[in-house]
Structure 1
Amino acid sequence: MKHQFDSTVLREYDIRGIIGETLGPDDARAIGRSFATLLRRAGGSKVAVGYDGRVSSPMLEHALVEGLTASGCDVVRVGMGPTPMLYYAEASAEDVHGGIQITGSHNPANYNGFKMVFQGRPFFGEDIQTIGTMSAAGDWSDGTGDVESRDILGEYVERLLEGLAGIDADALVSLRVGWDAGNGAAGPALEALAARLPGEHHLLYTEVDGNFPNHHPDPTVEANLADLKALVADKQLDFGVAFDGDGDRIGAIDGEGRVIWGDQLLMIYAEDLLRTRKDATIIADVKASRALFDHVSACGGKPLMWKTGHSLIKSKMKETGSPLAGEMSGHVFFADTYYGFDDALYAGVRLIAASARLGKSVTQLRGDMPDMLNTPEMRFQVDESRKFAAIDEVSARLADNPGPGVEDVNATDGVRVTTADGWWLLRASNTQDVLVARAESDTKDGLDRLMAQIDEQLALSGLERGESVGH
C-alpha cells in the first residue's frame, strides 16, 4: 500500500486541508503509519492522540489510530480537548514518546489538520515532508499496537492552576474576568478551570460546536472580540480573555475594551518574569513591536527577534534556554515552571498571576504601554513561485543600497527595516501564497513614509500591495 497526499496539505508547521476535497480518512491513516514508523525507528513506541471540536475530527481520529497501530505503535487516546492538553499528555507522561492533535486551528469549519510533537520536540518542516515521501513509497513498519483511553482533563486543569503558585488567593478574591472560548475545543477545560480559580468568572460560548455559530474563533481579529468587549463593559469586569479554535492562541482585552495584542501581552509576561530571572532571553517574532524589545531590555532581559511560526519559536527556545517567547498571532510559550509549549489557558492564568505580582491591574499595565501606530498585518496574494524570490530581491537591494535614514536591515525572517520613523517588514508566508507586510511608527506621517518604502520596494520587484487576504 502507498499513499499520495494532495500537494497543498503538507505544510511548514502542520498538515492541513479541506475535508472531502484535499483531506480525508486515507490521509489520516497514512500519517499514522508514517509517524509510527519514524517513532519506532527512533526507539519510541507510544503516541498520545487528541482532537478538537470540528465535525470531521472523530472520523480523522479513528483513521489516525488505525494507521498508528497498524505500524506497531501503542496509542493513548485523550479524547476531545484543546491542543495544549494533548501537548501536556505528551510532555508529562513518562511512557508517551509522541503526540498528534487533530485540529483545524483557526481555519474555517470545513478545514481540519494535524499538529505533531515527536519525542518532546516540534515536528515540522522536513519532518512533515518525510511523511509525504514515506507514504508515497509505502515505506512503513508493520505491527499491532494496543489502544487505551486516558481521561487527563482533571490532571491538566490541576497543572494549569499551578500558574498561580505563591500568590495569596485572598488577593484575588475581588478579581472579575470574562472568558470567550468561541465554541472551540477549550470550552470544557475552561469551565473546569474557571470553577477552581479565585474571583468571579463570566464565560461565553464554552459549548463545543465545530460550526462556530457565534463568531469565528480567531482572537487576533478584533471583530471576533466584540462579544467579549460587550461582556466586559456590561459587567464592568477587570479584563477579558479569548481563545482560538484549539486553545493554543490567546487574545485579550483590558477593562476599557482595548485589545492587548500578542506583543503587548508578552510585555506584561516579560516584566513579571524578569523580576526574578534577570538576563533571561525573551523571544518574539519579527512582527512584534519595537516597544516590546525595548521593554524587555529595560526590565533587564535579553530580547531576541526570531522567525514567525510556533514550531520555529519552540525550537529556538530549546536552543537558547529561553523561559518565555511569543508571537503576534497569540501563541505564548512558557518554559518558566511549565513545558515550553503554547497554551492559551495557561497564558490566561499567568496574566492573572502577572497582574497580582506586579501590583497593577491589567488595564493599568495596558495603559502604561507607549502608544505606537501600527498597521494591521497586511497579507496580499503573490504567486507561490515569486514570493520568496521577491523577498530575496528586496534584501539584496537594501544590502547594496539601504538608502537615506535606514538604521538597520534585519533578514532573520524576510526583511525588517528600521529607520528614524520606526520600522517596516516584508516576509513571505510559509503557509500560503502571500506576502505579509507590517509597519509601525510614532506618528501618522512616519507611518505614511514607511508604507511608501514598502510600496517602492514592491514596485522595484514588479509587485504591488493588493487587497489584503485572510489567513
Structure 2
Amino acid sequence: MTHVFADEILRAYDIRGRVGDTLTEADAYAVGRGFATRVRRAGGRRIAVGYDGRTHAPMLEAALVAGLTASGVDVVRVGLGPSPMLYYATATLEVDGGVQVTGSHNPAEDNGFKLVMQGNSFCGPDVRDLARLAAAGDWEEGAGNVTDADILDLYVGRLLAGYAGGTYRIGWDAGNGAAGPAIRALTAQLPGEHHLLFCDIDGTFPNHHPDPTVEANLAHLQALVAEKRLDFGLAFDGDGDRIGAVDSTGRVLWGDEILSILVAPLLAELPGSTIVADVKSSDALFERIAALGGRSVMWRTGHSEIKTKMKELGAPLAGELSGHIFFGHEYYGFDDALYAAVRLIRAVHLSGQPLTELRGGTSARVATPEWRVTVPEARKTHVVEEVAARLSAAGARVTTTDGVRVSTDDGWWLLRASNTQAALTLRAEGRDAEGLERLVASIDAQLADSGVRRAD
C-alpha cells in the first residue's frame, strides 16, 4: 500500500491543509502509519494523541489513530484540548512522542498535525520523510493498543504551579477554540476577578476567528476590558499555543511586547541568561534584554524552529511576535499560551506596576502590522532570493537568518516566505512615523522589482 500527499500540506514545521481538498482522511491514516514507523525504528512504542475543536478533527483523529496502531504503536488518547495539553502529555506520560490534530490559527476549513518525537519537534526534513515513506509504502506492520487518559485536571494543576500571587481583574477570550475548558478550570482556581468570553468550543468560530495576532479579532476583548474596567485582557488562538493581550486602555500587546515584560523577572532570577526571539521581533525587545544584562539571539520564525534553538542553547525563555512563548525555566520548553498567561500575571505582580505602565516603559517604536501578500507557493521563495541578491549588491545591512531583515538609520524591515501559507510576510518598524514611511517605501520598491504588489 502506498500513498501520495499533496506537496503543499508538508509545511516547514507541521502538516496543514484544507480538509476534503488538500487534506483527507487517507492523509491522516498515512501520517499515522509513517509517524509510527519512524517512532518504532527509533526504538519507541507509545504515542499520545489529542485534537482541537474543529468540526473535522474527530474524523482525522480516528484515521490517525488507525494508522498509528496499524504500524504497531500503542496510542494514549488524551482527547479534545489545546495543543499545549498534548505537549504536556508527551512530557509527563510514559510515551515516545505525540500528535495533535489541529488547524491552529488557520481558517475553519483547515486542519493538520503537529508532531513531537522523543521530546523534540518533528519538522522540516522529518515531515518530508513521512511523504517518502508513504510513497514507498515503507511502513512497519503491527497491531497497537488504544487507551484513554483524562489529563485536563493534571494539566491545569501544572499551570497553577507557575502562579506567584497577585489579584487582578482580567478578561479571557478563548475564541471558541480548544483552550476554552482549560481556561474555565484555570480561572476558577486563580484569585481575582475573571470575565470569560467564548469558552464554549465551536469549530465554526461563530464570534471571531481565533487568531490574536489580528487586532480585529481582539475587538470583543477590548470592549469587555473597557466595559468592566479590567486591569487587562488575554486572548488565545484556536489551539491554545498563541497568546495575545490588551492593556487597561485597550491597546494591544504583541508577542514581542509580552516577551519584553516576561524577561525582567527571568533575568533577575537568572542573570546573564540567553533569550531567543524571532526575526519579526522589535529592536526594543533586543535592546531591553541587553539593558537587563541578558544575551539575545535572533532566530527563524516558527514554533518548531524556536523550540529547537532554545533547547540547543539551553535558553530559559523564548518567544515570537506571533504570541508563541516558550518556557524552559520551571516548565518543559514548549509553547503554551495558558502558562504564558500565568507567567504574565506573575511578571506584573512582581513588577509592582500595572500592565499598562509596564508596557509604556518599553522603548517606543512605530511599526506596521504583519502584512501577508499572496503569491504562488512556487514563487514565494524566489521573490525573497531576488530581493536578497539586489540588497546584497547594493551593500545594504541585511540579516538572512530567516528571509531578509534590512536595518537602516530609520529602523528595519523584514521580508520572508510564510511557512504556513502561499504568501510573503512583511513587517517594518521605524523610530518615528516618517522613518516608517521610508521603510515601507523601500519594501514596496523591492516587491515591485520582483513583480509583486502589496495591497493597501
Whether TM-score is above 0.5 comes out as: yes
In structure 2, the residue corresponding to 1:85 is in which secondary structure? helix
Give the superposition deviation at 1:12. Answer: 1.2
Q: Give secondary structure in 2 for the equivalent of 1:427.
A: strand
Cα drift, residue 248 of structure 1: 0.4
Q: State the distance in 1 between where 2:208 and 2:390 align.
A: 43
With over 3 angstroms needed to count, the CA separation of the structure-2 counterparts of 1:284 and 1:132, relative to structure 1, is same
**TM-score (normalizing by structure 2):** 0.98
Give the Cα–Cα distance (whole angstroms) in 2 for the partners of residues 453 and 222 of structure 1. Answer: 25
Report the AA paired with residue 390 of structure 1.
V
Aligned residue identity for 1:465: R
SS at match of 1:393: helix
Query: Structure 2 CA distance, aligned partners of 1:325 and 1:269?
Result: 10
Identical residues among aligned pairs (%): 61
* Distance in 2, Cα, partners of 1:224 & 1:148: 37
Cα displacement (A) at 1:385? 3.2
Give the equivalent residue in structure 1 for 2:109.
110
The DSSP-based 3-state class of the residue aligned with 1:426 is strand
User: Do the aligned partners of 2:16 and 2:103 also contact (CA within 8 Å) in 1?
Assistant: yes
Partner residue in 2 for 1:450:
439
CA deviations on 1:360-395 (whole Å, 9 max, x unpaired) are 111111121232111111211233333222322322
Cross-structure match for 1:409: 398
1:418 counterpart (390, 407, 415)? 407
Partner-residue secondary structure (3-state), 2:356: helix
Which residue is equivalent to 1:441? 430
* 2:392 aligns with one of 399, 402, 408: 399
AA aligned opposite 2:104: S
DSSP 3-state at the match of 1:43: coil
Equivalent-residue separation in structure 1 for 2:282 and 2:90 (angstroms): 33
Counterpart selection for 2:254 from 255, 261, 264: 261
Determine helix, strand or coil for the equivalent of 1:64: helix
Q: Counterpart in 2 of 1:60? A: 60
- Answer yes or no: is 1:196 the counterpart of 2:179: no
Match of 1:88 in 2: 88
> How far does residue 24 in structure 1 lie from its aligned partner after superposition?
2.1
Q: Structure 1: 5+ residue runs without aligned partners?
A: none
Q: Give, in angstroms, the shift of residue 279 of structure 1.
A: 1.2
Query: Which of 380, 387, 393 is the equivalent residue of 1:387?
Result: 380
- Secondary structure (helix, strand or coil) at the match of 1:313 reads helix
Deviation at 1:295, TM superposition (A): 0.5
**What CA distance in whole angstroms lies between the structure 1 residues aligned with 2:231 and 2:75?**
42
Q: 1:467 corresponds to which residue?
A: 455
Task: Say which SS state the counterpart of residue 8 (structure 1) adopts.
Answer: helix
Written as runs of structure 1 = structure 2, the 5 A alignment for 1:190-339 is 190-339=183-332
- For residue 357 of structure 1, give the secondary structure of its aligned residue in structure 2: helix
Please say if residues 284 and 364 of structure 2, whose CA atoms lie closer than 8 Å, have aligned partners that are also in contact: no
**Alignment-derived partner of residue 136 in structure 2:** 137
Find the aligned partners of 1:456 and 1:188 in 2 and give their Cα distance: 47
Aligned-residue CA RMSD (Å):
1.3
CA contact (8 A) 2:444 2:454 kept: no
- Alpha-carbon deviation of 1:293? 0.5
Does the CA-based 8 Å contact 2:447-2:454 persist in structure 1? Answer: no
TM-score with structure 1 setting the length? 0.95
Structure 2: which amino acid aligns with 1:418? Answer: S
- Write out per-residue CA displacement over residues 272-303 of structure 1, whole angstroms, 9 at most, x where no aligned residue: 21111111111111111110100110011111
Alpha-carbon shift at residue 113 of structure 1 (Å): 0.7
Report the Cα distance in structure 1 between the residues aligned to 2:389 and 2:216, rounded to whole angstroms.
38
Q: 1:231 to 1:80 in 2, by over 3 A?
A: same
Q: What's the CA shift string for 1:23-58, capped at 9, x where partnerless?
A: 222111111111001100000100000001111111
Aligned AA (1:184): G
Deviation at 1:228, TM superposition (A): 0.7
Kindly tell me the number of residue pairs found equivalent between the two proteins: 456
Provide the C-alpha distance between the structure 1 equivalents of 2:440 and 2:425, rounded to a whole number of angstroms: 13
How far off is 1:466 after superposition? 2.7
Greater CA drift, 392-401 or 102-111: 392-401
> Following TM superposition, by how much is the alpha carbon of 1:348 offset from its aligned partner in structure 2, in angstroms?
0.4
- What's the counterpart of residue 179 of structure 1? 172
1:311 maps to amino acid = S
Alignment partners' CA distance in 2, 1:322 and 1:213? 39
Whether the aligned pair in 1 keeps the contact of 2:265 and 2:347 (CA below 8 Å) is: yes
The residue aligned with 1:101 is 100
Instruction: Name the CA distance, whole Å, in 1 between partners of 2:419 and 2:152.
Output: 33
Q: 1:327, CA displacement in angstroms?
A: 0.7
